[in-house]
Amino acid sequence: MSACGGPKIKSELRVFESADELATDLAEYISQLSENSVKERGCFTIALSGGSLISLMGKLCEAPYDKTVDWTKWFVFWADERAVAKNHIDSNYKLTKDLFLSKVPILNSHVFSINDNVTVGDAAAEYEFAIRQLVKIRTVGVSESNDCPKFDLILLGMGPDGHVASLFPHHPALELKEEWVTYITDSPKPPPERITFTLPVINSASNVAMVAVGEEKATAVHLATAGTGENFDASSLPARMVQPTDGKLVWFLDSTAASVLDVSNGSSG
Ligand SMILES: O=C(O)[C@H](O)[C@@H](O)[C@H](O)[C@H](O)COP(=O)(O)O
């Protein structure tokens, strides 16, 4: 319990002078997790978000990682995706393909994007079904505590309002307990229609990395990582609800995003 009563979230905070230094460490972090997962399970399952996160992963496409990562063992998913055509400028698939997938030899059959020819509700249902098939054959691990899929790594960005994936403040999607993938049609961040992992899936991951850069994230970072009063309404800040059940949470922050962190917040391992 933190001094002011609210639960203190166990997480590691990594603060970097610049986005470039953050990107260097993020690439090494992902490469290490990939190596460990491939050694232990023969594959590496990673779920991505959208936004600046994808460019911050860019160093993975460069030496030494382009030649040292066992890319054929990677299975790529999206923790959230916009319900637009996959060649649309707003598509997280397009963003990831342009900046990452087109630069590393991940097998197309190992990339699981949404069906962009159906309604957002059907896309969410189909996405969940595809993940269930992969859990059944153990390509995607399963959580011991709640039969949720256990991704090796879920990479999240965070909005200035503390949203993660497409889970926004006070949204009913934050309460879902059974669904693995849901959809929203009222995203405050355009475009309005999106699919998203639910919190049980995010919190079942072996590793979650939250990547936040820029002054506009500083308040949300502080609120998400600090202990707060008993009556703090966590649903006002979804990033605070990311508390892996038995996984590890690591924050990757540049100095501006970390600029209002309490000293006591330091990395708690
Ligand atoms: O599809 C989305 O919009 C994202 O998944 C969203 O959750 C994003 O990660 C945050 O909004 C942070 O975006 P920035 O890092 O670009 O601010």
pLDDT digits 0-9 by tens, 119-155: 999 999 999 999 999 999 999 999 998 999 999 999 9
Predicted ipTM?
A: 0.98
CA-51 nearest atom, ligand 1 = 16
pLDDT class of 10 with cuts at 50, 70, 90: low
| Separation of CA 89 and ligand 1 centre (Å) | 14
CA of 19 to the centre of ligand 1 (A): 16
Q: Which pLDDT score is estimated for 3?
A: 38
> Taking the complete model, does pTM exceed 0.90, yes or no?
yes
Does residue 228 carry a pLDDT above 90?
Answer: no
Say how far residue 107 (Cα) sits from the centre of its chain.
Answer: 21
Q: In this predicted structure, what is the pLDDT of residue 232?
A: 81
Under DSSP, the state recorded for 167 is B
Ligand 1 nearest atom to the CA of residue 157, by list position: 9
Distances (CA, A) of 3 to 27, 159, 222: 35, 27, 15
State the Cα–Cα distance between residues 160 and 259, nearest whole angstrom. Answer: 14
Cβ of residue 149 lying under 6 Å from some atom of ligand 1: no
Residue 49 alpha carbon, nearest atom of ligand 1:
5
User: Does residue 52's CB lie within 6 angstroms of at least one atom of ligand 1?
Assistant: yes
- The yes-or-no verdict on residue 188 having pLDDT over 90 is yes
Q: What is the mean pLDDT of the chain?
A: 93
CB neighbour list of residue 263: distance below 8 Å, 6 or more residues apart = none
Best residue among 22, 48, 55, 80 to mutate for probing ligand 1, ranked by most atoms within 8 Å of CB: 80
Asked whether residue 1 carries a pLDDT value surpassing 50, the answer given is: no
Percentage of the chain lying above the pLDDT 90 cut: 88
Number of the ligand 1 atom closest to the C-alpha atom of 214: 17
Average pLDDT on 188-208 reads 98
How far apart are the CA of 157 and the centre of ligand 1, in A?
A: 5
Instruction: Give the span between the Cα atoms of 15 and 54, in whole angstroms.
Output: 18
Cα separation, 48 vs 255, in Å, equals 23
Residue 114 reports pLDDT greater than 70: yes
Q: How far apart are the first and last CA of the chain?
A: 16
